[in-house]
Chains A and B, each alone.
Chain A
Amino acid sequence: MGGGRPHSTHSRESGNPALGPRNGAPHRASAMRTPRGDEGGTMFGAGRRLAGFARTLRDNGFQVGLAETRDALRVLASPAALRATSLKPALRALFCATHSDWERFDEIFDAFWRGRDMRQRQVLSGAPSASHAPARRLAEAHVPQQALGLPDHAERRSDGTGESPADGRGRREGASGTEALSTVDLRHIVDPDDVAATHALAARLARVMRARLVRREQIRRRGRRIDLRRTIHRNVAHGGTLIDLAWRRRKIKPLRLVVLLDASGSMSLYTAFFVRFLYGVVDTFREAEAFVFHTRLAHVSPSLRDRDVTRAVEKLALMAQGIGGGTRIGESLASFNRWHARRVINSRTAVLIVSDGYDTGAPEELAEEMRHLRRRCRKIIWLNPLIGWRDYAPQARGMQAALPYVDLFAPAHNLQSLAALEPFLARI
């Protein structure tokens, strides 16, 4: 009876909270058994271990359901299971659903089914073990690791002192406490309640934008072509004379929105707010993608799709914090153009760049990449929080280089300015 041993494993594991209960269990269980023991063991034992493996995969963000586990059991019972060389690819084909699953599968598989000796030693020595690596990778998957330790951390701040947010004189007048939140410069909202209210407003704004866009589309719909199949069916009674015509309507594809958010040091006062806005956008637009950039570009939509709002926003806010530093807008755009544009951009895509335009890279590169981007997408909107400041002129070299390719250059220092975007987006 194979059930006895895993039970004891569980009790041991619960007595060791430092291990991390979710990842610890399968690895510890695996550490106690040899592969040969499995093959000779009961189906029940194999099933248990497989369930553990499925759980490890789920912990790592794989979409593994009962159907997959059941099919995997059938595979284990088949001749393919006798050879590791065919078992691994078989389970991989079964359990993976996306390219990122595919890339991580080998590591998780090896850690779970093969690396038990090594793992046991590491656990015993109390060192942070490699067995945790796959789980942690999920959380960090979208944080460019190099960026965290980049030396050019302060570079950007020293660049931007002229108009730095700390220099409060530049702000637009009238941001008094009695005013509606929607017109207060976001930098000046500090009271926790107000912050929460602002964030809620941002999320709602994103939703409202979506709702209005959809309604307009439906009103616009109108027949363009005759639907032959329906027309003929309808007119059989008229002896085949086509009297009653059935029309086909042009389907209007919903607007796709791609947001590129600058999360560098000089934007830091606005980042938390825009992260919230991003969440609202990704949550409500069916087709929206979000990216955060600084010295590099990170695709953050998956993190934002986390159902738990606070967790998603905090995760992202943390990422954004960690990467305050120099900005390489040109390079980030280049990697967007190269790696993501083909997938996320279609003819009805509006690209929304939220940045103050301080670029530590070469302006020529930025211009070049803006030109490429411009060719691919429908509209480029550049939101610059600094426009809200009095006497602001887009003099940063990066901003200058990018402006010729921008369809709409708009302020984004308060909620009102974001709301003002909606009519523009609806016209795209």
Chain B
Amino acid sequence: MTIKREDIADRLAAVGYVADRDIATALWLMEFLKRPLLLEGEAGVGKTEVGKALAAVHKAELIRLQCYEGLDQNAALYEWNYQRQLLAIKTREGVGENADAIEEHIFSEKYLLERPLLAAIRRASPPVLLIDEVDRADEEFEAFLLELLSDFQVSIPELGTIKATSIPRVVLTSNGTRELSDALRRRCLYHYIDFPEVDREAKIILVRTPGIDTTLALQIARMVAAVRKEDLRKVPGVAETLDWAATLAGLELHDLRQEPEAVYETMICLLKTHEDRARVTREVSERLLGKVA
């Protein structure tokens, strides 16, 4: 099954994902070389969205694994259903089964709880596996992940080896809170996502904010781009832009230039720390507005 690059670009557009020029190529390459894709970029540039869009493109199920500090195999791969196991032991003991038989029974598929990674390799049709913020998990987990990504099989001591019934498409995202291992990086294709340029962000606003008009979307995108250039602790991401756009649209504004006060007031959608709020004063806000509008 080969998909052309152009097809992917078209389908991305069809599912409402406003792609940057090169992401379609990266997604095509994933398909072509059967390799995972590692996405990096500042928080809020829309890395997770790529995984969702990919699932939509292939009409595949999206299985998401959110990584965090201390994530272990129990939470990522599989777990036994302890309550049911305990109950089963008790009832079977009552009817006088021997221990070996009980053991065999309670460590069967019936008592196995799939967690995202196991689920991803046991689907009938290949899902999209989104491993979010892999940098938050620790090195041990990363090593385990690497093994899974190269063999696509899992061994469960009580049950034996489970081979993948379908190879998932894997997207990993990282915010760079920890340096990832070279091995993992080399296993993956790499794509760095930057904040969208003004035109693309305007398009995203248009697609995601119903009923907003084109000029306002463009003004908002320009304003956000200018705000990002300020020296901020937390640079606003695309999600913040959309919040702000929704707010401004909700206030039924049509031209930012006419409403400097409203712009300043609603800027809390973009600025999420006290210092940033203090830095972008009324004057700064008006100066930026003067530049963009």
Interface on A for B, CB 8 Å cutoff?
Answer: 63, 65, 67-68, 71, 74-75, 78-80, 85-86, 89-90, 92-94, 96-99, 101-103, 228-229, 232-233, 236-237, 239-240, 251, 253, 338, 342-343, 346
The closest CB in chain A to the CB of B187 belongs to A67
CB distance from A213 to the nearest CB of B (A): 17
Establish whether residues A89 and B26, one from each chain, have CB atoms under 8 Å apart when the complex forms.
yes
Establish whether residues B25 and A232, one from each chain, have CB atoms under 8 Å apart when the complex forms.
no
Stretch in B77-85, B115-123, B200-208, B283-291 with 4+ CB within 8 Å of A = B77-85
Among the listed B25, B107, B176, which residue makes an inter-chain contact with A90, where contact means beta carbons less than 8 Å apart?
B25
CB distance from B140 to the nearest CB of A (A): 9
CB distance from A416 to the nearest CB of B (A): 33
Establish whether residues B186 and A93, one from each chain, have CB atoms under 8 Å apart when the complex forms.
no
The verdict on B70 contacting chain A, using a C-beta distance below 8 Å, is: yes
Q: For A93, what are the chain B residues with a Cβ–Cβ distance below 8 Å?
A: 22, 25-26, 29, 37, 189-191
Among the listed A67, A240, A251, A253, which residue makes an inter-chain contact with B86, where contact means beta carbons less than 8 Å apart?
A240
Establish whether residues B190 and A102, one from each chain, have CB atoms under 8 Å apart when the complex forms.
yes
Across the A-B interface, the 5 shortest Cβ-Cβ residue pairs = A240-B89, A89-B22, A97-B185, A89-B25, A102-B192
Among the listed B33, B176, B182, B185, which residue makes an inter-chain contact with A71, where contact means beta carbons less than 8 Å apart?
B33
For window 135-166 of B, CB contacts with A under 8 Å fall at: 138, 158
Establish whether residues B185 and A98, one from each chain, have CB atoms under 8 Å apart when the complex forms.
yes
Q: For A85, what are the chain B residues with a Cβ–Cβ distance below 8 Å?
A: 21
The verdict on B133 contacting chain A, using a C-beta distance below 8 Å, is: no
Establish whether residues B70 and A240, one from each chain, have CB atoms under 8 Å apart when the complex forms.
no
Establish whether residues B103 and A236, one from each chain, have CB atoms under 8 Å apart when the complex forms.
yes
The verdict on B102 contacting chain A, using a C-beta distance below 8 Å, is: yes
Establish whether residues B22 and A232, one from each chain, have CB atoms under 8 Å apart when the complex forms.
no
**Most interface-central of B21, B70, B89, B93 (chain A CB within 10 A):** B89
Q: For A346, what are the chain B residues with a Cβ–Cβ distance below 8 Å?
A: 177
The verdict on B4 contacting chain A, using a C-beta distance below 8 Å, is: yes
The verdict on B99 contacting chain A, using a C-beta distance below 8 Å, is: yes
Establish whether residues A97 and B80, one from each chain, have CB atoms under 8 Å apart when the complex forms.
no
Q: For B82, what are the chain A residues with a Cβ–Cβ distance below 8 Å?
A: 228-229, 232
Q: How many Å lie between the Cα of A251 and that of B138 in the bound state?
A: 11
Q: For A98, what are the chain B residues with a Cβ–Cβ distance below 8 Å?
A: 40, 185, 190
Q: How many Å lie between the Cα of A296 and that of B89 in the bound state?
A: 66
Q: For B4, what are the chain A residues with a Cβ–Cβ distance below 8 Å?
A: 79
The closest CB in chain A to the CB of B70 belongs to A251
Given A98-B185, A338-B233, also A236-B29 (CB < 8 A): no
Establish whether residues A229 and B79, one from each chain, have CB atoms under 8 Å apart when the complex forms.
yes
CB distance from A336 to the nearest CB of B (A): 13
Establish whether residues B192 and A99, one from each chain, have CB atoms under 8 Å apart when the complex forms.
yes
CB distance from B82 to the nearest CB of A (A): 5
Interface on B for A, CB 8 Å cutoff?
Answer: 4-5, 21-22, 25-26, 28-29, 32-33, 35, 37, 40, 70, 74, 79-80, 82, 85-86, 89-90, 93, 99, 102-103, 106-107, 138, 158, 176-179, 182, 185-186, 188-192, 231, 233
Given A80-B25, A92-B22, A240-B89, also A343-B176 (CB < 8 A): yes
Q: How many Å lie between the Cα of A240 and that of B70 in the bound state?
A: 29
Establish whether residues B89 and A239, one from each chain, have CB atoms under 8 Å apart when the complex forms.
yes
Among the listed B22, B26, B158, B186, which residue makes an inter-chain contact with A63, where contact means beta carbons less than 8 Å apart?
B186
CB distance from B233 to the nearest CB of A (A): 7
Q: For A236, what are the chain B residues with a Cβ–Cβ distance below 8 Å?
A: 89, 99, 102-103, 106
Among the listed A71, A80, A228, A239, which residue makes an inter-chain contact with B28, where contact means beta carbons less than 8 Å apart?
A80
Q: How many Å lie between the Cα of A122 and that of B213 in the bound state?
A: 51
Q: For B40, what are the chain A residues with a Cβ–Cβ distance below 8 Å?
A: 98-99, 102
Q: How many Å lie between the Cα of A251 and that of B158 in the bound state?
A: 25
Q: For A338, what are the chain B residues with a Cβ–Cβ distance below 8 Å?
A: 231, 233
Among the listed A63, A101, A240, which residue makes an inter-chain contact with B90, where contact means beta carbons less than 8 Å apart?
A240
Given A228-B82, A232-B86, also A239-B99 (CB < 8 A): yes
Establish whether residues B29 and A75, one from each chain, have CB atoms under 8 Å apart when the complex forms.
yes
CB distance from A15 to the nearest CB of B (A): 36
Q: How many Å lie between the Cα of A36 and that of B179 in the bound state?
A: 41
**Most interface-central of B22, B33, B74, B85 (chain A CB within 10 A):** B33
Q: How many Å lie between the Cα of A30 and that of B42 in the bound state?
A: 36
Establish whether residues B186 and A68, one from each chain, have CB atoms under 8 Å apart when the complex forms.
yes
A-B contact pairs, 7 of them (CB 8 A): A67-B186, A79-B5, A85-B21, A89-B21, A96-B192, A228-B80, A342-B176
Q: How many Å lie between the Cα of A308 and that of B231 in the bound state?
A: 38
CB distance from B236 to the nearest CB of A (A): 15
Q: How many Å lie between the Cα of A421 and that of B290 in the bound state?
A: 54
Q: How many Å lie between the Cα of A68 and that of B40 in the bound state?
A: 19
